[in-house]
Structure 1
Amino acid sequence: MPSKNNTNYRWYALTLSASIFAFAAMMPEMCMSVLFEEISQELNLSLVQLGTIWGIVPLGSTVFLLASGAIGDRFGVKRTVTIACLLAGIAGASRGLATSFTSLLVTSFLSGLMPALISISLAKATHIWFPNRQLGFVNGIIVTGGGLGTVVGSMISATFLSPLLGGWRHVLFLYGAIAIVLSIIWFLTIKETRHEPTTVTENTVPIGKAMLELFRIKALWLLSLSYAFYMGALVSIAGYLPLYLKRLGWSGFSADGALSALNLAATVGGIPLTLLSDRIGRRKTILMTAMVISVIGASLLPVAVNTFVFVWVIVIAMGAFRSAYQALSTTVCLESEFAGAEYTGIATGFLFTINRLAAFAFPPTGNSLAEINIGLPFVYWAALFAIGLLILTKMKETGWKARSRQ
């Protein structure tokens, strides 16, 4: 294993981080949507119960996000990711032991706790290993890894792995085992960084005081709210789009294909856009471009449904910025060092918490407008994008070019 201070080690650690985010966090979560049909038949679950199980995972992560940041700041990324990955594997595999709605609900809730801790700790790790000029790119690689996990997990879990392994339970056992193996690899090969505080010293701000300080920082609120309005509205559109297109007469294959195009565009666009941000030294420029395209795209979707190519162009354009927006919002949070570098985990947890709350609230409020007009939800989500854009205009640029002028 190369020294932790050389380039080979840093890129090895980044590759392992992206793999953990893909195989221990995102793939075990997203596989459930394609396994639900098989699970519902065996456990006799209704659509409402399946929806409850699906929603309990992000709800669990919301509850744990702020605590995740504090844990990562206190104990360091090596120990935190090792334990989180191990517990993610155990909790994820335990879903395969469920015999009823209640047991599957509980194990799904538990499985949603650890990915939050993993994602925040990995974001903190990039801040330790790489200079600020590369943060957008390296966070883009991790987010892209997660995107690949969602794509691959939804493609192979039900159609390939379940028949091969003998059912959905064994698929979940496999994903749990993969997470445990990755935990062991991380523990054996990742070295603790000497610049990273792993214990509280006399000069360290107490966690409670740091959290109170963070809640008073206007810049963190602006960043968190803009991220929440963007991701909350985009998640809402992703959930509603296939149903909307099918009700307008699109085939199931075409409607689902539009959503797949959005997800694939997000995976492909993540690294180039974050790399561009690093090279031009600007974060806000990319974020605002994403917001403008989303406002226009969401506004056009209700009138574009009669043209297949037009819809695909819109969803691809909107999706291309999704991973980059997530990575760059995290990067801005890291570069700003709210309440000090040692508490970037808490700040990132706050950022993700506000986002998950929006993702929980925006879909049902938008879907309810479909009772008035089936295209009206898109108008509502376009308005949310516009609010996010307005908030973005109040934010300061944190890229290296802006800092070099200060």
Structure 2
Amino acid sequence: MPNSRYRWFMLALAALTHTFVMGMPTMSLPVLFPEIARDLGLTLVEVGIIWGISSLTSIVTALLAGAVGDRIGAKNTLMIACILAGILGAARGLSSSFVTLAAFTLLFGLVPTAISTNVHKTCGIWFSGPQLGLANGVASAGMALGFMLGSFLAATVLSPWLGGWRNVLFFYGAVAVVMGIIWSTVRPGPEAGRSSTPAVPVSLRQGLAYVSRIRSLWVLGFVLFGIGGGIQGALGYLPTFLRGAGWPGPLADSALATFHATSLIFAIPVALLSDHLGIRRQILLVAGLIIATGIGLLAMVSGPAVWVTVMFAGMVRDGFMGVYMTYIIEQPGVGARWAGTAAGLTSTLSMLATAIAPPLGNSLAAISPNLPFVFWSALAFMGAAGLYYMAGMQRPAESHSPAWSQPD
């Protein structure tokens, strides 16, 4: 199969990896939390800790996982990461208490960032120019599809069908291992043919040191710290909040699924718009403000207005991530060559927020059930402010980059 056609197969595989290995298992947890909490006797704060604790190990591994992807290739990294995600994700189903579930979830946190950063690196390897935004949009749409299916099916279909939340996690684990096996069979990327001069091998330390000197990546990490933390907290709390407000369980789960369905619908159009207009920072800023406003409105609305607010907040979530990853790759001195390390750097900062934002926000529910959304909205507005700040930054000169730093 020629590269021009094979790259679309690779894009489909990357998007489906987001769907089945990342999206569905991740967003199944919020709708399964009531069942898990009853089984293990968890408090609301403990639920918040479980929801965010995997980010602690992701903080440690995000930068390394991206650098490893740049070193051994996205294909090999995804093969290993998917298999590990299957094994460690399924192990959570063996938990018998808060402590054991927290421990297994902490271990599971070793792999998600390796998958996401290298999925988007795969897009940078196989696509470039005006199609790069589209490719990252499709990959993000795959994540949105997984989020929607997980939140819609896990508690109401999969758990009754498979016999409980533990078997749902075992099922997702098996699927992830199969995806890892598929990655072992695909071609390496065509990046070797993009330059007549082969890349000079560099150590992980050299690569990390080089990428860490790109100032804009630190600002983009701050952006995702705020917006990612706000989203993580709000989505984990929403089903529990709605149940507490008297919504039936399936209806509360459907609100979360609606968020992701709206995100899925708009993910590719937002990416195409960024390709067409070529103003990615401005699109990210508008999307960030929409997300922050929508999260804040959840503290003030009730009844049918919740559906409108959920759709408003959700319509740009995965479109934001697709454009964001494209914007990282397009930063001067990054390119496909350093996409993994650069994405790992920004993810490291965002994982800190996703680790602490859910339990901090959930603890505010003791004062008022609506107050967590105010906290998460403020966090997201803070992240969006970073995109405004970037307007005044000078783009770094690529001529100052070492010879081995240039993309293939």
TM-score normalised per structure 1: 0.83
Mapping for residues 208-287 of structure 1, pairs under 5 Å: 208-242=205-239, 255-287=252-284
2:85 to 85, 88, 92: 88
Q: Please, which of 181, 186, 190 is the counterpart of residue 184 of structure 1?
A: 181
Counterpart residue number, 1:404:
none
Residue 133 (str. 1) matches residue 130 (str. 2): yes
What is the letter of the counterpart of residue 342 of structure 2? A
Q: State how far apart, in whole Å, the 2-side matches of 1:376 and 1:80 are.
A: 40
The question of whether the paired residues in 1 share the 8 Å contact of 2:152 and 2:257 is answered with: no
- Among 42, 46, 51, the alignment partner of 2:42 is 46
Cα distance in 1, alignment partners of residues 135 and 333 from structure 2? 20
Post-superposition Cα deviations, 1:297-323, rounded to whole Å, max 9, x if no partner, equal 455444443xx3443323211211110
In the TM superposition, 1:13-52 aligns within 5 A as 13-39=10-36, 44-47=40-43, 50-52=47-49
Conserved in 2, the CA contact under 8 Å of 1:337 and 1:343?
no
How far off is 1:76 after superposition? 0.5
Alignment of 1:5-404 (within 5 A): 5-6=3-4, 8-39=5-36, 44-47=40-43, 50-99=47-96, 101-195=98-192, 203-242=200-239, 255-305=252-302, 308-338=303-333, 341-367=336-362, 375-395=370-390
Judge conservation of contact 2:124–2:335 (CA < 8 Å) in 1.
Answer: no
Unaligned runs of 5+ in 2: 394-408
Q: Contact 2:67 / 2:207 at 8 angstroms: preserved in 1? A: no
Identity among equivalent pairs (%): 41
Check the 8 A contact 2:233/2:354 in 1, yes or no: yes
Separation of aligned partners in 1, 2:365 and 2:168: 36
Q: Aligned to 2:184, what secondary structure does the other structure show? A: helix
Deviates most, 264-273 or 250-259: 250-259
Aligned-partner Cα distance in 2 for 1:210–1:20: 26
Residues 128 and 196 of structure 1 are in contact (CA less than 8 Å); yes or no, is this contact kept in structure 2?
A: no
**Comparing 82-91 and 67-76, the one that deviates more:** 82-91
* Aligned equivalents of 1:11, 1:102: Cα separation in 2: 43
Could you list the per-position Cα deviations for residues 307-347 of structure 1 after superposition, in whole angstroms to 9, with x for gaps in the alignment? Answer: x3443323211211110111111111111154564222111
CA deviation digits over 1:40-79, x for unaligned, max 9? 565x443365544333323232221111111101100121
How many angstroms does 1:141 deviate by? Answer: 1.2
Looking at structure 2, the residues matched to 192 and 110 of structure 1 have their Cα atoms a distance apart, in angstroms, of: 30
**Worse-matched range after superposition: 28-37 or 311-320:** 28-37
Question: Using a 3 Å threshold, how does the CA distance of structure 1 residues 243 and 118 change in structure 2: closer, same or farther?
Answer: closer
Separation in 2 of the partners of 1:70 and 1:129?
18
Identify if the C-alpha distance between structure 1 residues 156 and 337 changes in structure 2 by more than 3 Å, giving closer, same or farther: same
By how many angstroms is 1:349 displaced? 0.5
- Conservation of the 8 A alpha-carbon contact between 2:68 and 2:77: yes
Q: Give the secondary structure class of the aligned counterpart of 2:111.
A: helix
3-state DSSP class of the match of 1:350? helix
Q: Which amino acid aligns with 1:128?
A: I
CA distance in 2, matches of 1:254, 1:174: 24
How many residue pairs match? The answer is 389
- Cα deviation code 1:235-265 (max 9, x no counterpart): 3333444555566666666555443332222
Cα 1:325–1:88 change in 2 (3 A) is same
TM-fit CA distance, 1:363: 3.8
* Alpha-carbon distance in 2 for matches of 1:139, 1:390: 23
Question: For 1:102-154, what per-residue CA distance to the aligned partner results, in whole angstroms no more than 9, with x for missing partners?
Answer: 44433332222222111111111110100131222211211221222122223
**Which has the larger displacement, 372-381 or 275-284?**
372-381
**Contact 2:149–2:257 (8 Å) recurs in 1:** no
Q: Secondary structure of the equivalent of 2:51?
A: helix
Cα distance 1:137–1:160, how it changes in 2: closer, same or farther (>3 A)? same
Question: Closer, same or farther in 2 for the Cα pair 1:173/1:337, shift >3 Å?
Answer: farther
Moved more, 348-357 or 249-258: 249-258
Most deviating of 215-224 and 257-266:
257-266
Q: 1: CA distance between counterparts of 2:261 and 2:20? A: 17
